[in-house]
């Protein structure tokens, strides 16, 4: 696991002898992604620079040092991630006579040998893993960027500057690009709209004009002959979803569970490969418990597991994690975090997340990463189980709501919406709590009042897809809040993939796989973990598991109101059902209460009306109205306000970073790798 950065076509403004200095500046900005080693390589003829920071996981020796050149010297690579089947690929290369000898046992060297034998795309299509890769092809004068199939590892890129001074920049994080003097630092108001809607900025957009995220499953090329960026897809989540539904698994439910366990067992086994201490996050829920159960079943000693808890009622899963850990016999560590300890992390968030990001579960994610890093260098997680096995309650909620709504005229729906929002969220929560014991688990939700108010806001939707967009949106019309902005199209709006052959719930799952999972969940975990030099791995995102999950009939995922049915059956072979069955709980913190209490002064400073006017991004009246309603308790605007606060905090941090920027970084000593 590492951090990568570099540039291409540096232009007349930057003398070629300065390239190593620029690479050091860019990679030092993300040193925490790779504190163990650093490397730089330049192609002076084409103005190409590749930089690398290494977190040593496999082959800790110098033989794993990057940038690394292929045996043919045609390719040079910087690589962030892990190729879990690289030993299998090595055997294939050896049996075909493509390799005479290996220098070490790193997966980086395996990739390069594959490039020489099969080409870049041919190798990537054979690889099982998570990765962000930059490869310079000396023969064709082409720079290729590659991102893994689902988007576990980040990769940003874009041209900055104009004419012969234009520079193509890339890196694992935006702060690496900002460290280059060509970076233009222009905030995208359209991207800000997207952050207000979703609490994240979806690919291909970033918070900066001219800088994009490479979408999952994609390759990008730019060359000396063709400087226009070309992006192609080598694996499509949308196509896999449609193909899986059209070619369903035809065996019995028991056979499906058997096959799923075989795939998960192999995925977990391959992801336990490491030359450093390894463990797992454990919340006590279905997904993380399944991963830990598979780890412990294949380990000769107790697996190290980690969880955090909160003293606030409704936010503590640590007790459930502890019970699962005790049953499985893991070496478990838990940390009960006080509200003060959680809030103390907030000033770090702009640095950690690097662009506005406002999923409030970023706080416990960062805290559990800090806990795990005290004991291990690699941690497996249970992310993606909800998206693949129909785990989110909102899928059923949206489908049922649309079934009820679509039979009623629009005028009646609007009247019903006013009735729902006429009752406060607190009152709805109290009413739901009083009748909870009489309701099936599938109809029990955390914070039902907020969900009812949210549902009321989308009752005028013209389709299930439009309804779902409303449910996954915070600000319904963010362009009305951001000054001078137009909201860009996304996969959830005008650029939606062709999913018409899927039913409503399947479409929601597929869209989450393409958007919410990579741009929120995986980004949240990657930035939090890498900020403390912790590698995370996600066994559910082995693409063989993903593809099989889409082949499972929907009745094997959602059965009689039970979510993730097939996955639960795998888990129940290792953990008693009684330890798992309980209402689903989000991995969150009581942001709404904190904003009315200990965070009020901090928030007030960021939401000050004169400040909002001076900075010129938000229309102050709408922001202040929500802030005042929240403080009074009339409405819970915690998510809307957290979106704005995270942008404000980020913007403040970036302004300070620019003021602190050093114009004269330390000069490097020459290296033979600079070519």
* Entry field: residues in the chain: 675
The neighbouring-strand residues paired with 136 are: 76, 143
The DSSP element (H or E) to which 81 belongs, if any, is strand 75-83
- Alpha carbons 2 and 383: distance in angstroms, whole number: 21
Write the DSSP string, 24-49: HHHHHTTGGG-BSEEEEEEETTTTEE
Task: Count Cβ atoms within 10 A of the Cβ of residue 405 and give its class: 0-12 exposed, 13-18 middle, 19 or more buried.
Answer: buried
- Alpha carbons 158 and 13: distance in angstroms, whole number: 18
- Alpha carbons 558 and 400: distance in angstroms, whole number: 14
- Alpha carbons 297 and 299: distance in angstroms, whole number: 6
C-alpha closest to that of 85 among 60, 120, 111, 117:
111
Q: Tell whether 360 is in a known binding site.
A: no
- Residue at token pair 């693409």: 543
Q: Tell whether 382 is in a known binding site.
A: yes
Q: Tell whether 316 is in a known binding site.
A: no
Catalytic, 2? Answer yes
Q: Which of 2, 76, 193, 390 is catalytic?
A: 2
DSSP-derived pairing of the beta strands 212-213 and 2-8: unpaired
Give the Cα-Cα-Cα angle 186, 189, 190 (nearest 5 degrees). 120
The neighbouring-strand residues paired with 156 are: 171, 213
The DSSP element (H or E) to which 294 belongs, if any, is helix 286-297
C-alpha closest to that of 105 among 54, 60, 38:
60
The neighbouring-strand residues paired with 131 are: 81
Q: Tell whether 308 is in a known binding site.
A: yes
- Alpha carbons 2 and 57: distance in angstroms, whole number: 9
Q: Which two tokens stand for residue 598?
A: 């200990």
Q: What is the dihedral of CA 459, 428, 520, 570, to 10 degrees?
A: -100
- Alpha carbons 505 and 393: distance in angstroms, whole number: 11
- Alpha carbons 171 and 75: distance in angstroms, whole number: 18
Residue 53 and residue 37 in contact, taking contact as beta carbons nearer than 8 Å: yes
Residue 248 and residue 179 in contact, taking contact as beta carbons nearer than 8 Å: no
Annotation: binding site for L-glutamine: 107
Annotation: binding site: 107, 308, 381-382
Catalytic positions, written as ranges: 2
Annotation: binding site for ATP: 308, 381-382
């Amino acid at each position: 696991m590492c951090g990568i950065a570099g540039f291409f076509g540096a232009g007349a403004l930057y003398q070629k002898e300065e390239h190593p200095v620029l690479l050091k500046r860019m990679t030092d900005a993300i040193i925490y992604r790779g504190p163990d080693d650093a490397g730089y390589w330049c192609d002076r003829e084409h103005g190409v620079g590749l930089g690398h920071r290494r977190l040593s996981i496999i082959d800790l020796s110098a033989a794993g040092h990057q940038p690394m050149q292929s045996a043919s010297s045609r390719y040079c690579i910087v690589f962030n991630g892990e190729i879990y089947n690289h030993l299998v690929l090595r055997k294939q290369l050896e049996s075909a006579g493509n390799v005479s000898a290996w220098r070490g046992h790193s997966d980086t060297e395996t990739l390069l040998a594959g490039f020489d034998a099969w080409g870049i795309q041919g190798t990537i299509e054979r690889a099982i893993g998570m990765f962000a890769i930059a490869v310079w092809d000396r023969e064709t004068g082409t720079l290729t960027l590659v991102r893994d199939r689902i988007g576990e590892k980040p990769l940003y890129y874009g041209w900055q500057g104009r004419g012969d001074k234009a520079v193509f920049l890339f890196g694992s994080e935006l702060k690496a690009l900002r460290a280059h003097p060509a970076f233009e630092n222009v905030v995208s108001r359209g991207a800000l709209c997207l952050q207000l809607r979703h609490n994240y900025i979806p690919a291909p957009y970033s918070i900066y004009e001219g800088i994009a995220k490479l979408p999952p499953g994609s390759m990008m090329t730019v060359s000396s002959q063709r400087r226009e960026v070309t992006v192609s897809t080598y694996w499509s989540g949308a196509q896999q979803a449609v193909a899986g539904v059209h070619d369903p698994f035809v065996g019995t439910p028991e056979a499906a569970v058997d096959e799923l366990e075989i795939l998960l067992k192999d995925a977990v086994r391959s992801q336990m490969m490491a030359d450093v201490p390894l463990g797992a996050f454990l919340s006590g829920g279905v997904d993380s418990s399944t991963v830990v159960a598979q780890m412990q079943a294949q380990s000769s000693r107790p697996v190290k597991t980690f969880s955090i808890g909160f003293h606030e009622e409704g936010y503590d899963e640590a007790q459930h994690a502890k019970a699962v850990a005790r049953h499985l016999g893991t070496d478990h560590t838990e940390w009960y975090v006080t509200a003060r300890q959680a809030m103390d992390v907030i000033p770090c968030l702009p640095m950690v997340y690097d662009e506005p990001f406002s999923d409030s579960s970023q706080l416990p994610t960062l805290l559990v990463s800090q806990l795990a890093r005290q004991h291990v260098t690699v941690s497996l997680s249970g992310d993606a189980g909800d998206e693949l096995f129909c785990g989110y309650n909102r899928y059923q909620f949206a489908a049922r709501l649309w079934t009820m709504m679509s039979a009623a005229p629009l005028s009646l729906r609007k009247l019903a919406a006013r009735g729902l929002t006429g009752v406060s969220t607190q009152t709805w929560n109290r009413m739901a709590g009083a009748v909870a014991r009489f309701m099936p688990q599938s109809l029990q939700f955390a914070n039902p009042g907020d969900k009812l108010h949210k549902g009321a806001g989308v009752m005028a939707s013209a389709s299930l897809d439009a309804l779902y967009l409303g449910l996954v949106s915070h600000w319904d019309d963010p362009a009305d809040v951001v000054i001078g902005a137009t909201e860009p199209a996304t996969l959830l709006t005008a650029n939606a993939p062709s999913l018409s052959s899927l039913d409503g719930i399947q479409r929601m799952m597929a869209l989450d796989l393409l958007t919410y999972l990579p741009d929120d969940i995986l980004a949240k975990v990657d930035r939090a973990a890498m900020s403390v030099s912790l590698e995370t791995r996600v066994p559910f995102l082995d693409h063989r598991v993903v593809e099989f999950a889409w082949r499972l009939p929907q009745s094997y995922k959602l059965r009689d109101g039970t979510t993730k049915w097939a996955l639960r059956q795998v888990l129940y072979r290792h953990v008693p059902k009684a330890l798992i069955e309980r209402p689903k709980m989000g991995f969150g913190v009581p942001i709404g209460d904190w904003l009315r209490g200990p965070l009020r002064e901090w928030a007030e400073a960021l939401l000050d009306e004169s400040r909002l006017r001076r900075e010129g991004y938000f229309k102050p009246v709408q922001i202040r109205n929500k802030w005042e309603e929240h403080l009074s308790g009339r409405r819970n605007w915690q998510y809307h306000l957290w979106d704005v606060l995270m942008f404000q905090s980020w913007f403040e941090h970036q302004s300070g970073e620019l003021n602190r920027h050093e114009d004269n970084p330390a000069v490097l000593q020459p290296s033979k790798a600079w070519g």
